[in-house]
Amino acid sequence: MKAKGFLGACFVLFGGLLVWPLLTAANKPVLIAGIPALVLYLFAVWAAIVLVLFLARPRSGDEDSP
């Protein structure tokens, strides 16, 4: 049950990072190391999603795994 709550919280957090107001805040004509700010923001959020879900995956011997 603990894992379901964590995944629900991740869904809300990362969903909140991809809503319109934050995307327009990152959509500026600015280059950071030659990369547009919006592209860098989207890649950073995607990488954070992958990293968090990778670290939260069930491992053998965990209590919450079926």
pLDDT for 66: 55
The DSSP letter of residue 32 is E
> How far, CA to CA in Å, does 13 sit from each of 9, 16, 25, 66?
6, 5, 17, 26
Going by DSSP bridges, is the β-strand pair 31-32/35-36 parallel, antiparallel, or unpaired? Answer: antiparallel
CA dist., res. 66 & res. 40, Å (int)? 37
pLDDT of residue 33: 93
Rounded Cα distance, 35 and 46, in Å? 16
What's the whole-model pTM score? 0.77
How do the domains of the chain map onto residue ranges?
Answer: 20-57
In this prediction, residue 63 carries a pLDDT of 62
pLDDT tens for each residue of 2-61: 778 888 898 999 999 999 998 999 899 999 999 999 999 999 999 999 999 898 887 776
Cβ atoms of 65 and 58 closer than 8 Å: yes
